[in-house]
């Protein structure tokens, strides 16, 4: 989490219109506080969002500056704890994404040498560390010593007052150099500059770079200069960039799903087809197929397991943060890692761990050239286009579409072609009634969602949406498990959403069981009595996507009724790059 952006330019840039505009594109990585520093020594920072900050500062002009948008880990959300941080002489400024694990030990050491610390953060040690090292070393030597001494994860930008140059260092947190016509960007991800250039160089772990207005050089941890490749990336931006027709990105992105799923289908039939065939072969020929992911991507992976199991392929999934504790991996294992951002630290860590044990790695990512993609043997892109709202909506759907497609190639029975039109139908036919339901449910404290088989992962995904965006405690659970405890919480009027795919009579009975105890049961079904219209036939895999789309809309309209910050819910970030 946290986003960092630095710009270095031949002439001057505007801090507001260039630097902070770029930083704003990374705001989904965290939005607790914001700040910048330039080579003239100007520094401004504050808590809150970037647009408010932009209104509060004058428009500085500079040729070189760094900036940061924070998701707090060490130290509360205060102006002092915001980045950039500086040394006691206030001539070295740093921004950091990641966690310095041995900061307490280093801080003590630096304090004993006379350094004064003013924040509660781990990151503040960086500027003091360099101040100390630069007393006797060149910057290259100081960076080498930093990489040797520091335990933890970091993407760091450093500037020195009066020097037109940015130093950038990376380990385990993402960092990329953007090559635009008149300037270089250093940023957490390509989205910071993808409106300006599609040329980028990705940092690998323990690499650093020195970037001047007219040149850059990369080094390994021993200070040897490296020759790096320039990548040209393509983003599926099309007509989806503007939010102006919608009050929030979340509803815009929900409405985009017919288009974004169609775009993915076209690419799976077209330029990605060869990769799909290779992955299908790997799935068929591996002794063990395991998925890993976090958040919504995990619920998509659960569906992947369901689809593969239906066609006789044994597969399992495990949340990435617990992967190493509960999963056996060897050289006959195929790991399928799913991540929208491709940067989620737990997913990247689990994947590296599996790779070290000889597993083959397949990934499904949305962000091209992301870390996960780069450490995979084969990576499918889900082509959802940039997703700005913290809530995963269109990216979840496209992950499921990709998994359905893979399963379809391997023998799962489904008509893939109709997915976009069925999503369109569900949105158009149900949006108004969902608004009414949102008015009824918005002040509830708890909502339960029950599902079975095909509808169990959607029950979890819906609950996650309700928790993160509408701040309602929600539990998605297996219908069959309800009577083993949770049913004790059902009181007259408790909302229970029952997801009933096809003619699942057991699921129907579970709904009846809670109804008998006074629950307000809301049914989402395709072949039985339903409160919503879903136009798919019996046991169609599309039910999983369509029921989640209803959950997305319900969440959105509840959050709207409650006046919540829909696109940037409290305490969350879209890309979680710390453990």
Select 260 or 296, whichever has its Cβ closest to ligand G6P. 296
Are 65 and 40 spatial neighbours (Cβ–Cβ below 8 Å)? no
**Best CA proximity match to 413, nearest among 421, 404, 422:** 404
Select 37 or 463, whichever has its Cβ closest to ligand G6P. 463
**Beta strand pairing call for 61-70 and 360-365:** unpaired
Q: Is 286 helix (H, G, I), strand (E, B) or coil?
A: coil
- How many C-alpha atoms does 567 have within 13 Å on its Cβ side? 18
Whole-angstrom distance, CA of residue 464 vs CA of residue 298: 11
User: Out of 2, 45, 64, 394, which one is annotated catalytic?
Assistant: 2
> Which position among 344, 349, 351, 373 is part of the footprint of ligand G6P (CB under 6 A)?
344
Beta-sheet strand order (sheet of 216-219): 85-86, 92-100, 152-160, 166-171, 207-211, 216-219, 225-226
392 contacts: CB under 8 Å, gap ≥ 6:
295, 296, 297, 340
CB of 387 to ligand G6P, least distance (A): 9
Q: Is 335 in the site for ligand G6P (CB under 6 A)?
A: no
User: Out of 352, 444, 574, 579, which one is annotated catalytic?
Assistant: 574
64 catalytic per annotation: no
Select 3 or 35, whichever has its Cβ closest to ligand G6P. 3
Query: Contacts with ligand G6P: how many residues (CB under 6 A)?
Result: 15
Select 296 or 526, whichever has its Cβ closest to ligand G6P. 296
Q: Is 510 in the site for ligand G6P (CB under 6 A)?
A: no
Q: Which residue lies nearest ligand G6P, judged by its C-beta?
A: 295
Encoded one letter per residue, x for contact with ligand G6P by CB under 6 A and - for no contact, window 381-420 reads ---------x-x----------------------------
Are 279 and 409 spatial neighbours (Cβ–Cβ below 8 Å)? no
Select 4 or 350, whichever has its Cβ closest to ligand G6P. 350
Encoded one letter per residue, x for contact with ligand G6P by CB under 6 A and - for no contact, window 98-137 reads ----------------------------------------
CB of 322 to ligand G6P, least distance (A): 14
> Which position among 33, 267, 340, 494 is part of the footprint of ligand G6P (CB under 6 A)?
340
Encoded one letter per residue, x for contact with ligand G6P by CB under 6 A and - for no contact, window 443-482 reads ----------------------------------------
> Which position among 20, 576, 577, 578 is part of the footprint of ligand G6P (CB under 6 A)?
576
Whole-angstrom distance, CA of residue 577 vs CA of residue 579: 7
The one segment of 210-218, 306-314, 321-329, 338-346 that binds ligand G6P by CB under 6 A: 338-346
> Which position among 39, 157, 329, 347 is part of the footprint of ligand G6P (CB under 6 A)?
347
Select 15 or 300, whichever has its Cβ closest to ligand G6P. 300
Q: Is 341 in the site for ligand G6P (CB under 6 A)?
A: yes
Cα dist from 575 to 173, 251, 338, whole Å? 11, 20, 13
Distance from the Cα of residue 65 to its chain's centroid: 26
Question: DSSP assignment of 22-49, as one string?
Answer: HHHTTGGG--SEEEEEETTS-EEEEES-
CB of 71 to ligand G6P, least distance (A): 11
Select 343 or 475, whichever has its Cβ closest to ligand G6P. 343
Whole-angstrom distance, CA of residue 381 vs CA of residue 370: 10
579 catalytic per annotation: no
The one segment of 91-99, 171-179, 341-349, 544-552 that binds ligand G6P by CB under 6 A: 341-349
Give the footprint of ligand G6P on residues 216-245 (CB under 6 A): none
CB of 560 to ligand G6P, least distance (A): 19
Geometric angle at alpha carbon 41, from 39 and 46, rounded to 5°: 110
Are 331 and 357 spatial neighbours (Cβ–Cβ below 8 Å)? yes
**Best CA proximity match to 279, nearest among 326, 355, 354, 337:** 337
Question: DSSP assignment of 198-261, as one string?
Answer: -EEEEPPTTEEEEE-SS-EEEE-TT--EE--PPEE-----GGGS--TTSSSHHHHHHHTHHHHH
The one segment of 30-38, 90-98, 284-292, 567-575 that binds ligand G6P by CB under 6 A: 567-575
Select 127 or 341, whichever has its Cβ closest to ligand G6P. 341
Whole-angstrom distance, CA of residue 233 vs CA of residue 200: 8
Which residues is 498 bridged to in the sheet? 450, 523
Q: Is 64 in the site for ligand G6P (CB under 6 A)?
A: no
Any long-range contacts for 415-422 (C-beta under 8 Å, 24+ apart)? 415/540, 416/265, 417/265, 418/542, 419/261, 419/262, 419/265, 419/542, 419/545, 420/257, 420/258, 420/259, 420/261, 420/262, 420/265, 421/258, 422/534, 422/535, 422/536, 422/542, 422/545, 422/546
Give the footprint of ligand G6P on residues 286-325 (CB under 6 A): 294-297
> Which position among 121, 301, 339, 470 is part of the footprint of ligand G6P (CB under 6 A)?
339
Select 253 or 540, whichever has its Cβ closest to ligand G6P. 253
Query: What does the binding site for ligand G6P look like in residue numbers (CB under 6 A)?
Result: 294-297, 339-341, 344, 347, 390, 392, 572, 574-576
Show which residues are catalytic: 2, 574
């Amino acid at each position: 989490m946290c986003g960092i952006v630095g710009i270095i330019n031949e002439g001057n840039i505007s801090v507001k219109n260039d630097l902070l505009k770029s930083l704003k594109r990374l705001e989904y990585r965290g939005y607790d506080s914001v700040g910048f520093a330039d080579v003239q020594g100007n520094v401004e920072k504050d808590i809150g969002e970037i647009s408010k900050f932009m209104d509060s500062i004058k428009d500085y002009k500079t040729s070189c500056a760094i900036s940061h948008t924070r998701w707090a880990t060490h130290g509360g959300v205060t102006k002092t704890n915001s980045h950039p941080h500086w040394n006691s002489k206030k001539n070295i400024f740093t921004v950091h994404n990641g966690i310095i694990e041995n900061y307490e030990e280093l801080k003590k050491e630096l304090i004993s040498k006379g350094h004064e610390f003013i924040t509660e953060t781990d990151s503040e040690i960086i500027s003091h560390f360099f101040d100390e090292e630069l007393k006797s070393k060149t910057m290259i030597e100081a960076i080498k010593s930093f990489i040797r001494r520091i335990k933890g994860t970091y993407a760091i930008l450093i500037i020195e007052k009066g020097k037109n140059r940015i130093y950038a260092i990376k380990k385990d947190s993402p960092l990329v150099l953007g090559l635009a016509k008149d300037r270089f960007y250093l940023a957490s991800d390509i989205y910071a500059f993808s409106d300006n250039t599609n040329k980028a160089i990705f940092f690998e772990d323990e690499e650093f770079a020195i970037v001047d207005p007219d040149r850059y050089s990369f080094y390994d941890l021993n200070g040897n200069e490296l020759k790096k490749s320039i990548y040209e990336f393509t983003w599926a931006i099309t007509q989806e960039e503007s939010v102006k027709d919608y009050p929030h990105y979340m509803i815009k992105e929900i409405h985009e799903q017919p288009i974004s799923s169609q775009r993915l289908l076209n690419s799976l039939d077209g330029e990605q087809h060869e990769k799909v065939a290779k992955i299908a072969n790997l799935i068929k020929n591996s002794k063990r197929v395991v998925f890993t992911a976090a958040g919504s991507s995990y619920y998509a992976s659960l569906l992947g397991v369901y689809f593969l199991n239906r066609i006789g392929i044994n597969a399992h999934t495990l949340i990435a943060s617990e992967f190493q504790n509960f999963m056996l991996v060897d050289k006959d294992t195929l790991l399928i890692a799913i991540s929208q951002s491709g940067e989620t630290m737990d997913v990247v860590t689990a994947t590296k761990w599996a790779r070290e044990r000889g597993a083959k790695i397949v990934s499904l990512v949305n962000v091209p050239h992301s870390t996960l993609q780069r450490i995979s043997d084969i990576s499918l892109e889900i082509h959802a286009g940039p997703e700005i709202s913290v809530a995963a909506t269109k990216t979840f759907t496209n992950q499921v579409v990709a998994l359905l497609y893979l399963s379809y190639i391997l023998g799962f029975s489904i008509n893939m072609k109709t997915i976009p039109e069925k999503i369109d139908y569900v949105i158009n036919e149900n949006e108004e009634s969902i608004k009414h339901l949102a008015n009824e449910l918005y002040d509830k404290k708890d909502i339960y969602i029950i599902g079975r088989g095909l509808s169990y992962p959607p029950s979890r995904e819906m609950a996650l949406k309700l928790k993160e965006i509408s701040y309602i405690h929600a539990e998605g659970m297996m219908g069959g498990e309800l009577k083993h405890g949770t049913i004790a919480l059902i009181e007259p009027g408790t909302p229970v959403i029952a997801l009933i795919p096809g003619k699942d009579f057991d699921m129907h009975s579970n709904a009846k069981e809670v109804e008998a105890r006074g629950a307000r049961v809301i049914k989402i079904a395709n072949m039985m009595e339903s409160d919503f219209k879903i136009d798919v036939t019996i046991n169609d895999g599309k039910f999983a996507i369509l029921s989640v789309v209803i959950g997305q809309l319900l969440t959105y309209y509840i959050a709207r009724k409650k006046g919540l910050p829909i696109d940037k819910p409290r305490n969350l970030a879209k890309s979680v790059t710390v453990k």
